Amino acid sequence: MQKDNTTSALPTPAARVRQRKRSNEVPPEASKANGNHLLADDRNKYRSMWIRARSTVWMIGGFALIIYMGHLYIWAMVVVIQIFMARELFCLLRKTHEDSHLPGFRLLNWHFFFTAMLFVYGRILSQRLVNTVTPDKFLYKLVGNLIKYHMVTCYFLYIAGFMWFILTLKKKMYKYQFGQYAWTHMILIVVFTQSAFTVANIFEGIFWFLLPASLIVINDIAAYIFGFFFGRTPLIKLSPKKTWEGFIGASIATIISAFVLANIMGRFQWLTCPRKDLSTGWLHCDPGPLFKPEYFDLSGWVPRWFPWKEVSILPVQWHALCVGLFASIIAPFGGFFASGFKRAFKIKDFGDSIPGHGGITDRMDCQ
């Protein structure tokens, strides 16, 4: 009688355990390769952090120098940033093949850009320009006439650009050209809407420009640091590197910084005084009620050994808490919007002008 071997072919429980252990073992070669790969990733991670930190130091140093130079130079910095942002955004939808058949078409984008610049800044700075040239009768009359016809000048410049666009239309290129026309106007809205309020704030007092801008920078740096060392939980799918740990840690750091920085900045007249003209001289003014310190007695609230029995707080510090809250919660959504935008166009960065950061637009998305 033939012996049935089917039962003997089935592995015993002990054999199954040994087989499972062997299947879970990682070959030494694979383990070594994985270790080298992780080591390379760590090196690249810290190298990227070093490049980013070095660029950040340069940017903060240059920013501090421009702040020291005054209102007019800060406005010039904003204009330069706008030009670089517009350049990066204009290039996103350009196609070299189509542009080669449309000579001069790129100049049309810049025509609309500088027309918008003349319109926005002409309205904001007109009175300050008059205050600057008042002593000279000839310049006063010339500037007065320019301001008088400012609106109509901007209108006809825009109409000239519109007619220029119509005259450049070519068969089989209509869709591309109208897409570029619409894209140009979207860029103008994005670039100039926010900056118009920014420039107005600069001349009302550098404080109102410097504090929000500084808080955005602090929030961005703090989010990167907290996310780098403690980040575990993803925050939003649009930005895989953003984490809840980075978001919460940056929010706390930003709100605390807002309260402290407002007290420091609010004590310098150079930062709080408004600029009524386009000069660059030193400023002296009577600080408004927001910048006059209020004193609070702590003797009944702190132990006897506590060194400070009284604290001074500027009323503007309470406003700064609101600005810090905005910079912590609302401003990051500008970065999320930019991340979604880049994903739509399948690009990593808007440009490469700042090592470790990308382009100017990548740095200004939250601003």
State the pLDDT at residue 359.
83
State the pLDDT at residue 302.
76
The residue written with tokens 């760590």 in the block is: 42
Nearest to 206 by CA among 57, 327, 68, 326: 68
In terms of average pLDDT, the best of 76-80, 137-141, 229-233, 352-356 is 76-80
In terms of average pLDDT, the best of 18-32, 38-52, 139-153 is 139-153
Weakest mean pLDDT among 207-211, 281-285, 306-310, 329-333: 306-310
Q: Which residues of 145-181 are buried (b: 16+ CB within 10 A; e: fewer)?
A: eebeeeeebbeebbeebeeebeebeeeeeeebbeebb
State the pLDDT at residue 159.
98
Contacts 24+ apart (CB under 8 A), 151-159: 153/118, 154/115, 154/118, 154/119, 154/122, 157/111, 157/115, 157/118, 158/112, 158/115
Q: Band the pLDDT of 3: cuts 50, 70, 90.
A: very low
Q: Where are the domains of the chain?
A: 59-204, 206-330
State the pLDDT at residue 2.
47
DSSP secondary structure, 96-126, as one string: HHHHHTSTTHHHHHHHHHHHHHHHHHHHHHH
State the pLDDT at residue 92.
82
State the pLDDT at residue 257.
97
**What mean pLDDT is predicted for residues 291-316?**
85
- What pTM did the predictor assign? 0.79
Assess contact for 245 and 231: CB atoms under 8 A: yes
> Is residue 268 pLDDT above 90, yes or no?
yes
Q: Structure tokens of 242?
A: 């953003």
Cα–Cα distance, 104 to 86 (Å, whole number): 17
**What mean pLDDT is predicted for residues 126-136?**
83
User: What's the pLDDT tens digit per position in 29-85?
Assistant: 544 555 555 555 666 767 777 888 888 888 889 999 999 999 999 999 999 999 999
User: What's the pLDDT tens digit per position in 193-242?
Assistant: 888 899 999 999 999 999 999 999 899 989 989 998 998 998 988 888 88
Assess contact for 183 and 177: CB atoms under 8 A: no
End-to-end Cα, the chain, rounded Å: 89
Q: Please list the alpha-helical segments (H only) found in the chain.
A: 6-9, 13-24, 28-69, 71-92, 96-100, 105-133, 137-148, 150-168, 174-204, 206-230, 244-265, 269-272, 316-329, 332-345, 360-364
Output the average pLDDT for the chain. 84
> Is residue 9 pLDDT above 90, yes or no?
no
State the pLDDT at residue 145.
85
Cα–Cα distance, 196 to 215 (Å, whole number): 19
